[in-house]
Structure formats: C-alpha cells, structure tokens
Amino acid sequence: MSVSFDPFDTETIRGRIAAFIAGQGVAEVAVGPLRRFTVGFSWVTFGLRASWRDAGGTVERDLILRAGPPNGIFGPYRAFPEFTTLGALAGSGVPVPKVYWYSDDTEILGAPFFICDLVPGDAPIPWTHDGGPAFDDATRVNLGGQFVSALAALHSFRWQETPVAGIGGETDVARTAAAQIDTWERLLGEWSPSRVPMLEHAAIWLRAHAPVAAKIAIVHGDFRIGNFLVADGRITAILDWELVQLGDPMEDLGWICLQAWRGRSPYMCHLFTREDLCERYAALTGAPVDLAAVRYWEAFGTYKLAVMHYGATHCFAERGFNDLRMAGMGAQIPRMLLQVESAMERAA
Amino acid sequence: MNIALERLLEGIVATLRNDVIPHVGDAYARGQAVGVIDLINNIGPRIEWARAPLIETVGEKIALLSAVATLLPGVAAPHEASAVESLSSAELAAERDRLDAAIGDALALAHGAGEEGKSALTLIVRHLHDEQARAMKTTRKPLFAEIASGRDDKDK
C-alpha cells in the first residue's frame, strides 16, 4: 500500500514517527505535537519533543523531523546522504546537529526523512529590507571567522574511511566539474519544458573551462548565509545538507560568492570580501586557493541556482506544489540569467 | 513568467484557501481574503499573457535567426515575422519556445565552428542578453526578506 505524505496532517505524521522510533530498539516512546517551521524551500521541517528509554536510561529531547516531500523542488529525495554526513561530522570542527534515525522507505511516512536534535539559534538570511548589509562590522567579522573555520574543517575532513564515501559524487579530480554540469543540465532538461539558450551557452562555456580539482572533499552544496544558526554570537549549526556530495571543495567557495547571497553588500554572504575569504580559507587549510577556480565555481554556482529556479517553477507549475515562493522564483528567472552571464564574464 | 496563467491563478487561490484564510483571526479580514479569491475566479477567464511583448520577442528571434543563417552554414532561415501577428498568446509562447530551440541548436553550431562561428555567436549572445534585460523592465524586486521574515518592510 502506498503511503501519501501530507505535511498539514501532523497528527498522522506524529503517530507514524512514534511507531517508527519504537522500532529502532528503544522503549517507552512518547512523541509530542508537531509544529511546522516555515523555513526552507525544499524539505519540510517539523519541531517536536520526544522521549524514549534506551540502554542508558530515559532520554527526553527537542527534535527536528525533516521530510523530503515527493513534489518538492529536488524530489524524489534521499535522506541517506545528509544523515550519513551529519553522523560522520559529529565531533568534528563542523557544528552539526546530532542525528538519531532516518529512512528512505517511503512506506513509513510517504517521504524520506531523518530525525536530529533541535539546535538553538536563529538563521540570518541574505535578504535585507533595503538590500544593504545584514550585519554590523563586529558581528560580520565574528561570524565570518566561524563560517570559514567550519568550511575549512568540512573540506579537511578525512571522509575516505567513513560511510560518507558512499554518499555519491564524482571523485575523479579531472571529471568532477563535468559531472556537476551533467547533473544540472539533466535537471534543467527535466524541469524546463522549453530550451533555455542562455543556460545552454553557459553549460558549453563551463565544460570548456572546467578545472581539475586539487582534491576531492565533502562539498556541502549550499554553504551560505541562511543555512547556519547563530546563538549568542556563536554559529551553533550548519544546516540544509540536502545537496551534499563528494567533489571539488572550490565549489563551496564559489557558491559563497554568488551575487544572490549578498544583495548590494560588498561582502560575500554579507561576511567578508572575496579575497579575505580565500586568504582565511588558505590559512586554515594550508592549501593555496586558486582565485580563477573560485571565479569558475561562482559562475557554475550561478548556473546551478538559475537551474534551481526552473526547478521551483516546475514544482509549482507541474507538480501541484502550491507554495507561492516557488512561483515567485519563476518570476526572477530573467534576473538569474543575467547574473549567469555576468558571472561567466567575470570568470572568463 | 513561464507559468501558465490558469495554473498561477489556481495556485494563488489554493494558497489563500489552505494556507492563509484558516489562520486569519479577524472575520472582516477573512472575508476580504475570500473576496480576493472571488475576484481572481472572475478575472481568470478574461485575461491572457500580454501579446505585445510576445510578438516583439518572437520578431526579434526571427530576425536573429535570419541574420545567423547568413553567417553560419547549417542554420535555416525562419519564416517571416509578419506571419505571427494574428497568433494568440499561447500560440506566440509556443512559437517563442520553438525559436529558442532553433537558437540553442545554432548556438551549439557556432561554438563548434571556432573562428568562423564567432560573428554568429556574438549576435546570439547579444540577443540573449537583450531579451533578459528587456524582461527585467517588468520584473519587480523580489520580496524575499519580507517573505522569509513574515514581516512588512515598513515594520523595520
């Protein structure tokens, strides 16, 4: 029997999650009411309080349930890559929530899901009411330092002997950029009913200029302002790992530099200049940063973000996803295509 | 905007019905929101995407392909632009998409032709830029800050 996922039917989800947790080798499971968070454009996020008893005694936690809806922007989803990466990074220099359980079996909830700790903090967003700076200088410097440290720790993480080796991605340093272009070109083909010559032009250019990666690392895939939590001046968690994969770590640096994450601020992700980012990252990782490669990956990232806008449009237009933010992204496609062109010109 | 108008209006109505109205506490405000749905339902059958910009876009694409055909062997000259003026908005959008496919093919040819393709490539890239620059004239600044925070800009 096929189980359908209705994010508004929180009582049904609560019952199913309680039954699922009870099947994970713990006893006396109690799950409180679910409250839905409005954050995120893709996965559906709920907060809940749960308790259970395991070998160590009774546990009571505030948890997050993240579910990838079948009609969501990147559906069909898999929870395995995000869950596995978060589990492997526990205790590393990357602040991540503790993960408990996951399932990619859609017969349980009607959607892949995982459960992790609720981490305290607020998520600063890239969009400000006047397009200006998101932070005062002291906050910017403080958060910027922690942000780069987390990224350097992620890219220095030795994933080879961990389950992260199975999360996917191209590990051939000469092929990893081309594989990313292939992926997003395929997605564009699925999401856009008509051809998009500007993006075809970009894909040809990106293929012709694809760099060879200096190394393969865990690439977050959406490492930016908006995807970390801050409490009392400290970054408490890096979030939204749904695009995580193995690849060229420079992809994350390029993504940080996207125009979309800074508005009219001169600072990448409202945090630092491009040069400052690269210098700090190089000092922390001990590896020099090729500025040309960062510019290339910024162009690729802008291409990828433009394709995501087609994904959002498709979600709304064809998959019955009524979130008007998706239609709103569709309205911004001209702006995105011009940003792709500018980013290519800067990288050329 | 590349979403069918009918689907766009249907989505707006569904969002008001399911996500907004159930959470509006004030009866008058709730009634006004239902009034928005009532108006959308009545406006829907009377409107279509504006034809004038679509005719202009299609005309420019035909002109581009005609010029590129003189520069690049393998690119066929399209039909006359005057043939499109009697088309409906939906037919014009389909024609625009058909021409975009031809432009994509010409683009690939130009890239593969090396020096010989450069003039054609320059024309195509300029057209793609101009098309989006013109679209920006009707693209309003996104309200992402307000959407994400749920607060009116004036609250700041």
DSSP-assigned letters across all residues of A179-213 = HHHHHHHHHHHHH-SS--HHHHHHHHHHHHTPPPP
pLDDT of A148 strictly over 50: yes
| pLDDT, position B156 | 44
CB contact under 8 A, B139 and A334: yes
Mutation pick from B1, B3, B58, B97 vs chain A, by most beta carbons of A within 10 Å, is B3
Per-residue pLDDT band for A227 (boundaries 50, 70, 90) equals very high
Residue A188, chain B, CB below 8 Å: the answer is no
Residue A335, chain B, CB below 8 Å: the answer is yes
Report the 10 Å Cβ neighbour count for A189. 13
Sign of the C-alpha dihedral computed for residues A147, A152, A153 and A158 taken in this order: positive
Residue A193, chain B, CB below 8 Å: the answer is yes
Q: What is the mean pLDDT of residues B85-111?
A: 94
Residues of B with CB below 8 A from A303's CB? none
Residue A178, chain B, CB below 8 Å: the answer is no
Q: What is the pLDDT of residues A93-129, one digit of tens each?
A: 999 999 999 999 999 999 999 999 999 999 998 888 7
CB contact under 8 A, A195 and B149: no
For residue B30, give both structure tokens: 């709730």
Q: What is the mean pLDDT of residues B15-36?
A: 94
Look over chain A and give the mean of its residue pLDDT values, rounded to a whole number. 94
Q: What is the mean pLDDT of residues A29-48?
A: 89
| pLDDT, position B67 | 96
Share of chain A above pLDDT 70, in %: 99
Measuring CA to CA, which residue among B97, B106, B104 is closest to residue B74?
A: B106
Contacts of A46 (CB under 8 A, 6+ apart): A10, A13, A34, A35, A36, A37, A64, A65, A66, A67
Compare B86 and A209 and report the one with higher pLDDT: A209
Residues of B with CB below 8 A from A264's CB? none
Instruction: Find the CB nearest B100 among A197, A324, A337.
Output: A197
- Contact (Cβ atoms closer than 8 angstroms) between residue A263 and residue A312: no
Q: What is the pLDDT of residues A53-84, one digit of tens each?
A: 998 899 999 999 999 988 888 888 999 999 99
Sign of the C-alpha dihedral computed for residues A322, A325, A328 and A332 taken in this order: negative
Residue A195, chain B, CB below 8 Å: the answer is yes
Reported ipTM: the value is: 0.92
Cα separation, B5 vs A316, whole angstroms: 12
Measured distance between the N- and C-terminal CA atoms of chain A, rounded to whole angstroms: 53
Q: What is the pLDDT of residues B114-144, one digit of tens each?
A: 888 999 999 999 999 999 999 999 998 888 7
